[in-house]
Structure 1
Amino acid sequence: MLLAKTLKSSTFRLALIAIGTFGLIASAIFAYVYWSTASYVRSRADRTIMAEQASLRDVYTRSGRDGLIALIAQRVADKGFADHIYLLVGPGPVALAGNLTQWPDGAAEQGWSEFRAPVPSSASANPLVRGVTETLARGDRLLVGSDISDLDGFTARIRAAAIAVIVLIFMLAAGASIGVTRRTVGRIESINATSRAIMLSGLDQRIPLRGSRDEWDRVAENLNLMLDRIQTLMGDVKQVGDNIAHDLRTPLTRMRGRLEKAYHGPRNGDNDAALIGDTIADLDAVLGMFASITRISAIETHARKDAFRTVNLVEIASEVVELYDAAAEQDATRLGLAGDPEVLMTGDRDLLFDAIGNLVDNAIKHGRAGGRVTVTCDNGEGGAVIAVADDGPGIPADQHDHVFKRFYRLERSRYTPGNGLGLSLVAAVASLHGARIELHDNAPGLLVRLCFPGH
């Protein structure tokens, strides 16, 4: 069961892709090593053959055919040249000199070739020979070669070793991948089993830890902490429900007792009026309790439009300027307020204060030291407008769409205090108020405008 899940898991497929990629790279490396080694071995043999060919050619040029025949006979008799082959033929197929009796099959009529030929002095039968053929001045053909059986065996061993290493790498990688994938699938199945148990029996179950302190144990710890938090929240919800039921039971019981007493007793105007007044007071207390609960829920879900009031944007901006004036003085920044004396709009005063404060704080932090930050409030054609301008480096135009994302920061601002959420808060407040955010080049600096809709 676990093996089937292992083979079907995405982790195993990724492992196979990694194995294939690594295997191709390893194969390419070993192929290059083999090719380089084989080329080097053959180049050494070629240099020896070419040197010998040049010596024989010089003798042929100086002493003619007879001199060359004599030298070839000397070379064949010399044990130091036992791994060399020589063959001189005239215009006909008859061999004139050398340790071959006839032209070997596979040997080129001109240039380089590799072939197998019976060399009497060689220890191996039909050794692999690499040779070069040259046509001399009188039409004679000279074949000079060397037995490269040992060199060919050496490259063959390198090739076999490379193939064996590649196969071993694939086998080890496949085994490791299956082992790691089985371990991963096993831990996931453990989490899934606990999740199913939680769904069936409640929040008392926890994911078991293995004590390895690896990433899976950390995931399990975090999930267990999350389950603890959920269990705590569920307990809090139950407690709140119990408290509400308890707090409502007392006034409702009291109201029912009064009404039942009045129902069974004689009518009395003063007593009835007092009973009605007490009942209304209890009902107001109950309604106030529900209103408080609704208000808390609205704040927690960010539905805060019930706190909207007609506010003077200039008054809020003035308070912000006064609050940040000391921070501006520390950087020798001149912070000022300009625009219309009164700009009325509908909004949440506290949220507007936070949004304007974030804009001013950013302008002071990221503006020019000793520069100027100006907050301007105007009654625009469409509604209230507030602008915050600085004369710092500004924000590149291609970054304007990104700076309002959560935790997004410009590269030059990464070492400036902050968490990258200030402008995100501004965007959230603007969205809640239906405002439009505009970023402009202040030449130099940045100009941020919040354009609110009219009443």
Structure 2
Amino acid sequence: MASASITRSTSIRLAAFYISLFLLSFLGANAVGYNMVASYLYERLDSNVMERFREIETAYDKNGIDGAAAMIRSHGPAIRGQETLYTLKDSGDTVLVGNIDMVDVPPGFSTRAPTSHDKPPTNYRLYRRNLDQYDLTVGVSYDDTNRLRWIALVSFGWATAIVLAAGLGGGAILAFRTRRRIARFSEAMKAVGAGALATRLPISRRHDDIDALAIEVNDALGQLQASVAAMTQVTTDIAHDLKTPIGRLYLTLEAASESRDQASALPLIERAMNEVARITATFEGLLRISQIESGARRSRFAKVNLTALVRDIDDIYRDIVEDSGRSLRFSDDKRNSSAFVWGDADLLKQMCVNLIVNAMRHTQAGARIVVGVRIRGGSCVVIVGDNGPGIPELERQKVFKRFYRLEKSRTTEGTGWGSVSSRR
């Protein structure tokens, strides 16, 4: 497998895409979560301010201004640490008790920015309201709220970083593992290209989509191996089929060249022409098969009355079959008087003739040969049967292969075309 940048790996690209998508979603969820936490903390801060204000208000309701002042003084540690601000004034705007004189504070909730007197500088959440003729302002520092907000923000940041690192790490691991698998596939395909057609792609235990693709490729390689083996066998069979007639042709022409007169040479030339005709028939058969498989002869297809075609063949070959010591009978079925198919009439006729010739060749004298046409399940079926020895059960599927013959020695005439139904 040619080396390539890891960034060009499909796995790492898919991982980066999904990580980016997930990261954006995660960041959006974090932003929503952070805003919800911040909103809750601000609401809690307002509740804390109101709680302290109500404590002082309750003390004022029970014990008057002295009770309110005592409640404020009881918060001495908070006052000294500046976590909480208190200002209680009378109607003359004089501070009665508190730790800071807050001025220009609007009624209700407000926020006080830090000043140069604050140590350390901090914001405060304030609440101001009158207690009869007195004015009370309570403030609570934002420090705890800001600290919790910062903790939440840092937590979300770490969570995002962990997700990003885990996603990139997982994507890198997936990319390297996928590259190793693809490298093994590449080596296997190189072996196939070098001629080792028995090589197959490895299948893992994960049974993922890559394994499903590998299974399909292995099936295709199996079919390719079978096709190449069949082609090799066909080539060998053709070589055997042509070896004998070419040899006879050579000897006949040699004998004709040595003849002293024309009269003795003419029979030899006629024999040579017969051998040439057999050789030509072999190549014509190959050409017809290749044309059919490529679809070139489909332009000659037309509507053919199969019943009429088989009846004509019966009329032509009946005398020939009877001269060979066998009988030929057309099995007539009135229901199939017009069985039409879409095909090449010449090739269909040649197929039927080949089957009849094979039946004559592979049966003994006195055998009965039957031809006919049947319609079964919407399909037209041509029947050529005889009462000969038949095809062994183990060979019945093999005879459908091109150029396959039961006679492995191939010493008799024939090429293996149209023999699949000759002895049913």
The normalised TM-score by structure 2 is 0.59
Aligned to 1:8: 8
1:74 corresponds to = 70
Higher relative contact order (CA 8 A, sep 6+): 2
CA gap 1:279/1:306 in 2 versus in 1, 3 angstroms: farther
Separation in structure 2 between the aligned mates of residue 3 and residue 90 of structure 1, nearest angstrom: 85
Cα deviation for residue 311 of structure 1 reads: 4.1
Contact 1:307 1:347 (C-alpha < 8 Å) held by counterparts = no
Equivalence for 1:450: none
Bigger radius of gyration, 1 or 2?
2
Whether the 8 Å contact between 1:248 and 1:286 is mirrored in structure 2 is yes
User: How many Å apart are 1:159 and its aligned residue?
Assistant: 2.1
Q: 2:156 pairs with 162, 170, 176, which one?
A: 162
Show the counterpart of 2:274.
281
Aligned in 2, Cα 1:309/1:18: closer, same or farther, shift over 3 Å?
Answer: closer
Partner of 1:206: helix, strand, or coil? coil
Question: What residue number does 2:138 align with?
Answer: 144
CA contact (8 A) 1:298 1:304 kept: yes
Letter in 1 for 2:242: L
> For residues 180 and 202 of structure 2, what CA distance do their matches in structure 1 show?
13
Gaps of 5+ in 1: 316-342, 359-455
Is residue 5–residue 185 contact of structure 1 (8 Å, CA) maintained in 2? no
1:228-267 CA-to-partner distances (Å, cap 9, x unmatched) read 4323322221221222122122212212211211111222
Counterpart-to-counterpart distance in 1, 2:256 and 2:58: 143
Task: Look up the match of 1:186.
Answer: 180
In 2 relative to 1, CA 77–56 (structure 1 residues): closer, same or farther, beyond 3 Å? closer
For residue 319 of structure 1, what is the aligned residue in structure 2?
A: none
Q: Is the 8 A contact 1:131 1:145 kept in 2?
A: yes
Q: Give the whole-Å Cα distance in 1 for the aligned partners of 2:2 and 2:176.
A: 7
* 2:294 aligned partner: 301
Q: Tell me, in whole angstroms, the C-alpha distance in 2 between the residues paired with 1:113 and 1:285.
A: 111
Distance 2:132 2:3 in 1: 76
Structure 2 gap segments, 5+ residues each: 309-337, 349-373, 380-424
Q: Say if 2:228 is the partner of 1:234.
A: yes
Name the residue aligned to 2:33: 33
Indicate yes or no: 2:125 matched with 1:130. Answer: yes
Q: Are the structure 2 counterparts of residues 104 and 148 from structure 1 closer, same or farther at C-alpha, using a change threshold of 3 Å?
A: farther
Deviations 1:164-215 (Å, cap 9, x if unpaired)? 111111111111111111111122122223334544x432573663754543
Residues in 1 aligned to 2:84 and 2:181: alpha-carbon distance in whole angstroms: 68
Kept after mapping to 2: 8 A contact 1:111/1:134: no
TM-score, structure 1 as length reference: 0.56
Instruction: Give the whole-Å Cα distance in 2 for the aligned partners of 1:346 and 1:162.
Output: 75
Amino acid paired to 1:186: R
Question: Which amino acid is 2:99 matched to?
Answer: L
Matches within 5 A, 1:391-406: none
The 5 A counterparts of 1:89-104 are 96-103=95-102
Mapping 1:343-422, distance limit 5 Å = 348=343
Pairwise CA RMSD: 4.6
- Distance between the aligned counterparts of 1:116 and 1:224, measured in 2? 76
Query: 1:242-321 counterparts in 2 under 5 A?
Result: 242-269=236-263, 271-305=264-298, 308-309=301-302, 311=304
Instruction: Determine if the alignment matches structure 1 residue 24 to structure 2 residue 20.
Output: no
1:98 and 1:32 map into 2 onto residues whose CA distance is 43
Deviations 1:62-84 (A, max 9, x none): 99xxx66x554233123499464
* Equivalent residues of 2:85, 2:98 under 8 A apart: yes
Say whether the 8 Å CA contact 2:26–2:160 is kept in structure 1. yes
Q: SS state of the match for residue 143, structure 1?
A: strand
Equivalent position SS for 1:266: coil
Deviation at 1:348, TM superposition (A): 2.5
**C-alpha contact 2:200 2:221 (8 A) present in aligned 1:** no
Q: Deviations over 1:355-388 (max 9, x none)?
A: x959xxxxxxxxxxxxxxxxxxxxxxxxxxxxxx
1:246 and 1:2 map into 2 onto residues whose CA distance is 44
Partner Cα separation in structure 2 for residue 183 and residue 104 of structure 1: 70
CA distance in 1, matches of 2:141, 2:173: 50
Summarize the Cα distance change of 1:45–1:110 in structure 2 as closer, same or farther, 3 Å threshold.
closer
Aligned letter for 1:239? Answer: Q
**Aligned-pair CA distance for 1:272:** 3.6
By how many angstroms is 1:53 displaced?
A: 5.2
| TM-aligned CA distance change 1:312 to 1:112, over 3 Å | farther
Q: Percent identity at matched positions?
A: 24
CA distance in 2, matches of 1:116, 1:72: 26
Q: Is the 8 A contact 2:57 2:68 kept in 1?
A: no
Inter-CA distance 264–272: structure 2 relative to 1 (3 Å threshold): closer
Q: How does 1:416-435 map to 2 (within 5 A)?
A: none
In 1, distance between residues paired with 2:233 and 2:214? Answer: 28
Q: Offset of 1:224 from its aligned partner?
A: 4.3
Aligned counterpart, 2:394: none
Q: Partners in 2 of 1:101 and 1:306 — Cα distance?
A: 106
Which residue type is aligned with residue 158 of structure 2? A
Instruction: Give the letter aligned to residue 99 of structure 1.
Output: G
Question: 2:102 and 2:4 mapped to 1: Cα distance?
Answer: 64
